[in-house]
Structure 1
Amino acid sequence: MPDSSSVPSDTTPTSDPSYDLVGSRRQPLDAIFEPKNVAVIGASESPGSVGRTLLWNLVSNPFGGTVFPVNPKRDSVLGIEAYEGIGAVEADVDLAVIATPAPTVPGIVEQCGEAGVEGLVIVSAGFREVGEEGAALERDIKDIARTHGIRIVGPNCLGIMRPPNGLNATFAGSMANEGDVAFVSQSGALLTSILDWSFRENVGFSSFVSIGSMLDVDWGDMIEYLGDDPKTESIVLYMESIGNARSFLSAARDVAQSKPIIVIKAGRTDAAAEAAASHTGTLTGSDAVLNAAFRRSGVLRVDDINDLFYMAEVLSKQPRPEGRNLTILTNAGGPGVLATDALIGGGGELTPISEDATDAFDDILPGAWSHGNPVDILGDADPERYAESLEVAANDENSDGLLVVLTPQAMTEPTKTAEHLRPYARDNDKPILASWMGGDAVASGENILNESGLPTFAYPDTAARVFNHMWRYSYNLRALYETPSLPEDEPGLPDREAAAGIVQDTHESGRVLMTEHASKELLAAYGIPTVDSPVAETPEEAVAAAQEIGYPVVVKLHSTSITHKSDVGGVHLGLTSDADVEAAFAQVENNVAEGFDGVTVQPMIDRSDGYELIIGSSMDEQFGPVLLFGSGGQLVEVYQDRALGLPPLNRTLARRMMEQTQIYEALQGVRGREPVDLDALETLLVRFSQLVVEQPRVKEIDVNPLLARPGDDGLLALDARVVLHPYTKDDDELPTPAIRPYPRQYVGTHAMADSEEVTIRPIRPEDEPKLVTFHERLSERSVYLRYANLMKLEQRVAHDRLARICFIDYDREMALVAERPTEDGDDRIIGVGRLTQQPGRNEAEFAMLVIDEYQGEGIGTELLRRLVEVGTTEGLDRITADILQQNHAMQRVCEKLGFEVVRGDGREMVQAVKTL
């Protein structure tokens, strides 16, 4: 039985995407960005007023629709008939722009809802920024808008422009130029400044948006909409606050692979860390966490306005570099040195010129060429020498990108050289940047290069800085679709039941600080090696434990209330006798007036051949749990060699965290020392992230030091500290990870007709090879019924396509695979079902495919039944699917599961709809 739907979530539909037999597929934000009719509520004729400027901008920049002024005190505004209220407008209004005093806005929103208005831009100020009274108004507006299904940009915003359509619903002084960059700003003042700057620099925009206070439409909504917008090639953001972190990350991770997202974020303070009691909390400032979030979502952060638009241009015109090696071609030594300093200072590297490239340069360049990188092709370089040198450099397998520098010298021909380089602008798989230094003499050549798609910069150090941004962007994107699933459980690991019991014991005692002994037990439950630490409540017990362990030993304070043991004289190292242990016990007890609950006795570990690391987790107000890895020990806050990440991790993401630290180089082996087992360290970090995700009652963890030594069993947690959320906080109030982890709750089994069980579970990144085999076993008929065309096998199994299918964001879609064991012991995927949430609506579309040999055995029916359960659990309003007319089997499955199947009059598609 062929189980399929015709509009998959992982391919481009062949039919009109707006086709719907039941209702409109229009994205809700279309009412704001693509309105047919607009009302200005608060339209005015007062010179210089916001209401007058809004109306004038709308009528003087025709967008193809009608503008309706709303002002109960006037019959007309600017010669246009005015209306007493939005309900009096005879036409259907898509967008209402509100410019009235804040206290009047809730009532106006109610009237808009009753009139069927779908989108609002509230430019009015006087809301949460003025205090609780304004915040209460916002809450009222949000409740009313939710009741009527209205989407809102603002309040306290400048409005929006849509230059390709001629829509100017702002009170800015001018209309932006048309282009392919979408600019969204949280600051209206900065928006107008950028607008002025864009006229001077001839920068154009597909959308120009002041997002305001984000009462409703937030960064995630904007990114999602602009990501689907064919008029937008890149998305540029000026951000002051993140708002809904999960919405932002989810949308950014989905869009960044196809369109660059570049952000400049105001504020770099670490004030959030000041009150932290843990080492981890001290090291994780709010801005550092934001950087980690940007890396994890594929967003590129820059520090100044010029870079913001440089990167938007470069990433839309040039391919992304594979690595950080840049080859610099120059006709003068000084500019090459400037570019080198900027490149190395920003983390990039000079390409080591290969032997083949060196030989090729020797053939075409004078003997006095630099014979290294930067490649100085000398001051008398003519256009042919530039072009030939560029070709050699581009073919060098060591190179990831090229920078061509030209300084105007007596024999230089800037315009002609640009003409010779024009063919290389787009016919290349490595980015090429240019710096034509000078003024009028090089302007013509710059124009030629820019028009051909080869970005130019006035100074070579600027170009090198841009290249550094490019390779970092590529580096982050490569891990973007590694949506982390949890690793396969080893026998007995993780022991989630034991871990939950350890946490619960401390929680039920009313304490938030877990003892070191319990903390280490919690780590051990997740497979993190810990040093044996028996608890001794008397000197005799301490001596007995030391004798059992063997001297030398360490004695540490055991306390349910004291955070850092060394601060109170609670740590004694290198004890070699019973007498030493007894004395240490007495000293610890004497040093601690309150909070003494005994001591732990541990073996004295030789640290001379290892490295002290720290791993930890603390809470960020916006992003929830944040992970830390870096150099540990007593000077951890002094060195501050650390990397942050968002849980959960997989191996790739764990390695990325390690690579961001300086200690990583030492861990690979330096000065004759053996390397640490980095694979084992990856696994440990992944397990640690599992603990953080699966034990939400845990607020903070420090493992410091984590000793890392060469060889097997070289990782050992010497000390651990765990703090829980207070017992006064209910489970449903606990923070959640900003990135949704693998949804284990949807893993289950299903008995087939032959009684053999198949596993049905959410898809994982590691499933890509299995999906290749899956597609190899499909017939042409099944492929056609699934995709509404005969997509070739090489297209279906292309890595980029399967990466997007396997590395999904479980907040945005859910894919279930049916997996059956084979005779050789492997598991084979025999069916895939997918739910993809529709942009801007609380509904999802499903898609289904089962390999031919298992069709007719109920796999498709079971997958769809579970997708419906998922949709219900996730709180969706309805599930839909477009199905080919001739796919009667899929239609019967849908009807069996309670879908309404709406059949058109001879149309290619039918639609199945289930309201949940």
Structure 2
Amino acid sequence: MFKPTSIAVIGATDTPGQPGRIVMENLLKGAFLGPVLPVNETREPVMGLESYSEIDTLPITPDLAIICTDADSTPFYLAELGKRGTQAAVLLSHGYFRFDRDRREVQRATVMDIAQAHGMRILGPNCLGFINPSVGVNASLAHREALPGRIAFVSQSDSLFTSVLDWATSKGVGFSHFISLGDRYDINFADILDYLNNDPGTRAVLLYLETISGARRFMSAARALARNKPVLVMKSGKSEASATAAAAHSGMPPGSDDVYDTAFRRAGMLRVFDIDSLFDTVETLARAAPLKGDRLAILTNGGGPGFLATDALLAGGGRLAELSEETCQTLDNELKGDWSYWNPLVIKSGADADMYARTLKVLLDDKSLDAVLVMHVPSIYADSGQVAEGVVRACRRTKKAVLTSWLGIDDAAGARSTFRKAGLPSFFTPDNAVRAFLNLVQYRRNQDLLVEAPPSLPDTFQPDVSRARLVVNEALDQQRQVLTVAETTGILKAYGINIPETRTVPDVHAAVRAAEEMGYPVALKVESPDIRRKTLAGGVALDLESDGDVLEAASAMMQRLKTQMPAARITGYTVQRMCRRATALELMVETATDPVFGPVVRFGQGGAGADLAQDVSTALPPLNMNLAREAVSRTRVAARLHDAAGRPLVDVDAVHLVLVKVSQLIIDIPEIFEMEINPLFADEDGVVALDAHVRIAWSTATGTEQLAIRPYPRELEECARLKDGSVVDLRPIRPEDEPDHWEFIEHMSPQDRRFRFFGNVGTLPRSEMVKLTQIDYDREMAFIARGQAPEGGLKTLGVARAMIAPDNSRAEFAVAVRSDLKRAGLGRLLMDKIIRYLRSRGTGRIVGEALADNKGMTELARALGFTVTKDFDEDIYHFDMALDGTRLTPRDATPDTSADSTC
């Protein structure tokens, strides 16, 4: 598709303004060296080239076809191209329906049936095509060429395609690829992200999107790409009106903008909100040193711009660095008191290159800051170009990020050129510079989410899934969507979420008896399937101290509800032991189902004022403790969890654990499509849920299938017995296995490490260890064997890994065991596990390689049924096994582990 050696243009013409003419002009005026073959029913020459009336008369089979005819004729041409062997087509055809769903689906089915029958990939329709400057291909309707570069731009919008191209050309920004996706009948964002991840000519990726389909594939591809290259995304639909319009335009469900925002963050991408930010930030990521923190120092020769930059930083949630006493003393000695004595650091307006250089060197040596913004205001006393050269000299060896902003136009042009050549990001205004810095900070945080190993969950968290499922199934059998208080309480307790003693009773007299048995004081709440926010409806009474209080409260409650909600069905009352926790914070945890990304978990301020506070963050399950902490940190109420010194005022781990438990609950019980715990009291003694609401419905998909990110596949855990009779756990690897994995690799001999990593390696960098232990279970699998190590204790003894192609056609395996445990049968056990797993997911083939002197692996591969061939040039063995491609049931994929091998 993107690197063709020959191109056919279907519907090529000499008529000005027609798509067939524009495409021919773009192809012929570019640097494309291959043949361009016009196809036109009239057989008249097009732009001096001989044309062809039929596909089967073409002198060669084109790699790529660009179809510019109407939609009705497209299926015929696709079929003819498929018969000829063409494997890629761009649909620039007009006449494709976007707003008529039924007609759109008929057109899509017709096109895709033909394409899939011939193994052809389709870009579009309703797109502007693509430009690949590296091979000189402009297969688009764009009005200009794209400059060559290392950035890929992928757009869902035709108007953004042309606007960004104009903007980038005026700024001298080049591209590796410039792609318009259109209606994405076939090639979608996930396909493009996978392709760009493997493209060595692409260093960074910019996306514009309105909606996505296939959330799990998108997230899987995005997370894989973001580990290797910066990914920036601009999305419309921040407001409800624009989201609805964008969804109608694309024909896809809109989804919630806060969920999209969460998904981008979880994938390690950075969201920006305008074109300037898009390119300013990608330039900063490319040029600036990686940030290690968020503390910024501002150096300027003008107070006003420095103060404006400070305001922009603090308004954006940034942090001013606090200069150390040593730095302040050094600056005082260097500048002889001619500076502001605080950050922002203002020096005299006529500061020359030497003063800037000396000041900047002192700042860069200060460990209390992470980046410096250097600003310069034009002055008759100093040449701005020379000052820029002084700044470049001062930060030649620094590992800290340095951003620059030279105010002015003509006077600053030379300075900006100096910075560009030196690889330092430069901005026209302080606002732009600060915004780029804040984006760098957010990008670093998003990347941290990808690589931070979470702490293990407490051993005490062992949910009673069967008990919770029984409650839900019984309610569904009774055709109820709303669970009762008793049922909700049972589910919360099954997942270890504390709730005060609670009883549901049919009438007020039963409420009095329950209160007497429970012990005063109590809370009384009305029970109704029609009332969700009982406090707002006047259906809650607190601190009742006697039977009379209960009777009086119930009477008043009924009077209020008859007036305010006369249609509400009252089924009884709930009596709850009062939870007296004077210093407790009122929090809220809820779940919902997004039409694009599936189940989500939300956290925020709780209580009666929750709706007014609008203090909520969103997270995508599955959650671990780190992800839960990050979600909590994005709320305003998070500041109240600690005192001014940063000491916790509540049991913050207990708060985070509730989010993890709720996340696991909706994975285990997918029939729960809506749940709210509000208020959730939190103090130093832990958390307790005072009220909860659960809605259920039959589900045809498992909890795992509904998620945008595949959770840890617990169903793949099993036990097995080795040759010596010892028992090992076989299970998928988890992020928290990272410490154990360091020890495992240390127990491999230098030769075994060379066999595994195809070269002599010492200590692996943590970035590589993160990739080995924090995997995307959708496109990779690693099984570890854990058992008793020779030196004692449960340790990782071996690992088998499979990297799976995005289309599931093949997987490449690797296997390793501890060097002191060879010949124990671990390698065969792990390979058998990985092969069974790949068969269960319908993978086409499994392949691998080994160095020629790795006799043990070669013998094992032959014994397992691989075809083994030797590459004498590379001196390696290739292993290949065709799997039957039949997706097995979980029972077929898991062996029948006998009782004597129970771990």
Task: Report the TM-score range of the alignment, normalised by the length of the smaller protein.
Answer: over 0.9
Residue of structure 1 in register with 2:894 after alignment: none
Residue type of the alignment partner of 1:771? H
| Separation of aligned partners in 2, 1:424 and 1:162 | 39
Residue of structure 2 in register with 1:15 after alignment: none
Q: Indicate which of 490, 506, 509 corresponds to 1:537.
A: 506
| Separation of aligned partners in 2, 1:194 and 1:273 | 21
Residue of structure 1 in register with 2:82 after alignment: 113
Q: Indicate which of 866, 877, 882 corresponds to 1:899.
A: 866
Q: After the TM superposition, which of the residue ranges 836-845 and 354-363 deviates more from structure 2?
A: 836-845
| Separation of aligned partners in 2, 1:807 and 1:671 | 34
Residue type of the alignment partner of 2:628? A
Deviation at 1:285, TM superposition (A): 7.6
| Separation of aligned partners in 1, 2:460 and 2:453 | 24
Provide, for residues 117-136 of structure 1, a one-character-per-residue CA deviation record: whole Å limited to 9, x for no partner.
22221122333414122331
Matched residue SS, 1:81: coil
Residue of structure 1 in register with 2:668 after alignment: 694
* 1:483–1:809 Cα contact (<8 Å) kept: no
TM-score by structure 1 length? Answer: 0.91
| Separation of aligned partners in 1, 2:457 and 2:824 | 28
Residue of structure 1 in register with 2:889 after alignment: none
1:65 matched to 2:34? The reply is: yes
Matched residue SS, 2:502: coil
Deviation at 1:904, TM superposition (A): 4.0
Residue type of the alignment partner of 2:105? A
| Separation of aligned partners in 2, 1:699 and 1:426 | 56
* 1:183–1:207 Cα contact (<8 Å) kept: yes
Residue type of the alignment partner of 2:397? D
* 1:221–1:840 Cα contact (<8 Å) kept: no
Residue of structure 1 in register with 2:893 after alignment: none
Residue of structure 2 in register with 1:848 after alignment: 815
| 1:490-509 equivalences in 2 (<5 Å) | 490-491=459-460, 493-509=462-478
Provide, for residues 821-865 of structure 1, a one-character-per-residue CA deviation record: whole Å limited to 9, x for no partner.
348874211111111122556322111111112222221112111
1:327 matched to 2:292? The reply is: no
| Separation of aligned partners in 2, 1:179 and 1:597 | 68
Residue type of the alignment partner of 1:195? L
| Separation of aligned partners in 2, 1:419 and 1:203 | 24
* 1:269–1:285 Cα contact (<8 Å) kept: no
CA change 1:482–1:692 in 2 (3 A) is farther
Return 5+ residue gaps in structure 1 as ranges.
Answer: 1-31, 275-283
Q: What is the Cα-based RMSD across aligned positions, in Å? A: 2.3
Residue of structure 1 in register with 2:432 after alignment: 462
Residue of structure 2 in register with 1:723 after alignment: 695
Residue of structure 1 in register with 2:109 after alignment: 139
Residue of structure 2 in register with 1:9 after alignment: none
1:827 matched to 2:799? The reply is: no
* 1:697–1:731 Cα contact (<8 Å) kept: no
Q: After the TM superposition, which of the residue ranges 396-405 and 105-114 deviates more from structure 2?
A: 105-114
Residue of structure 1 in register with 2:895 after alignment: none
Matched residue SS, 1:863: helix
| Separation of aligned partners in 2, 1:788 and 1:190 | 45
Deviation at 1:538, TM superposition (A): 3.8
* 2:358–2:394 Cα contact (<8 Å) kept: no
| Separation of aligned partners in 1, 2:500 and 2:241 | 35
* 1:484–1:742 Cα contact (<8 Å) kept: no
Deviation at 1:286, TM superposition (A): 1.0
Residue of structure 2 in register with 1:240 after alignment: 210
| Separation of aligned partners in 2, 1:502 and 1:836 | 40
CA change 1:354–1:671 in 2 (3 A) is closer
Deviation at 1:365, TM superposition (A): 1.1
TM-score by structure 2 length? Answer: 0.92
Residue of structure 2 in register with 1:180 after alignment: 150
1:521 matched to 2:521? The reply is: no
* 1:483–1:808 Cα contact (<8 Å) kept: no
| Separation of aligned partners in 2, 1:783 and 1:638 | 59
Deviation at 1:366, TM superposition (A): 3.0
| Separation of aligned partners in 2, 1:674 and 1:59 | 67
* 1:748–1:761 Cα contact (<8 Å) kept: yes
Residue of structure 2 in register with 1:910 after alignment: 877
Residue of structure 2 in register with 1:82 after alignment: 51
Residue of structure 2 in register with 1:668 after alignment: 642
Q: Indicate which of 165, 189, 193 corresponds to 2:135.
A: 165
1:422 matched to 2:392? The reply is: yes
| 1:146-545 equivalences in 2 (<5 Å) | 146-270=116-240, 286-424=256-394, 427-482=397-452, 487-488=456-457, 490-491=459-460, 493-545=462-514
Residue type of the alignment partner of 1:556? K
CA change 1:427–1:888 in 2 (3 A) is same
* 2:789–2:797 Cα contact (<8 Å) kept: no
Residue type of the alignment partner of 1:663? V
Deviation at 1:671, TM superposition (A): 10
Residue type of the alignment partner of 1:182? A
Residue of structure 2 in register with 1:631 after alignment: 605
Deviation at 1:624, TM superposition (A): 0.5
Matched residue SS, 1:565: coil
Residue of structure 2 in register with 1:760 after alignment: 730
| Separation of aligned partners in 2, 1:92 and 1:423 | 57
Residue type of the alignment partner of 1:111? E
1:860 matched to 2:827? The reply is: yes
| Separation of aligned partners in 2, 1:872 and 1:791 | 33
* 2:588–2:676 Cα contact (<8 Å) kept: yes
Q: After the TM superposition, which of the residue ranges 867-876 and 884-893 deviates more from structure 2?
A: 884-893
Structure with bigger RCO (C-alpha 8 Å, 6+ apart) = 1
CA change 1:671–1:339 in 2 (3 A) is closer
* 2:811–2:847 Cα contact (<8 Å) kept: yes
| Separation of aligned partners in 1, 2:866 and 2:471 | 46
Matched residue SS, 2:323: coil
1:597 matched to 2:571? The reply is: yes
Residue of structure 2 in register with 1:4 after alignment: none
Kindly tell me the number of residue pairs found equivalent between the two proteins. Answer: 868
Q: After the TM superposition, which of the residue ranges 257-266 and 886-895 deviates more from structure 2?
A: 886-895
Residue of structure 2 in register with 1:27 after alignment: none
Deviation at 1:247, TM superposition (A): 1.9
Deviation at 1:484, TM superposition (A): 7.4
Residue type of the alignment partner of 1:522? I
CA change 1:837–1:88 in 2 (3 A) is farther
* 2:327–2:366 Cα contact (<8 Å) kept: yes
Residue of structure 2 in register with 1:5 after alignment: none
Q: Indicate which of 609, 626, 643 corresponds to 2:583.
A: 609
| Separation of aligned partners in 1, 2:807 and 2:12 | 29
* 1:511–1:560 Cα contact (<8 Å) kept: no
Residue of structure 2 in register with 1:736 after alignment: 706
Deviation at 1:412, TM superposition (A): 1.6
Deviation at 1:305, TM superposition (A): 0.8
| Separation of aligned partners in 2, 1:185 and 1:599 | 55
Matched residue SS, 2:812: strand
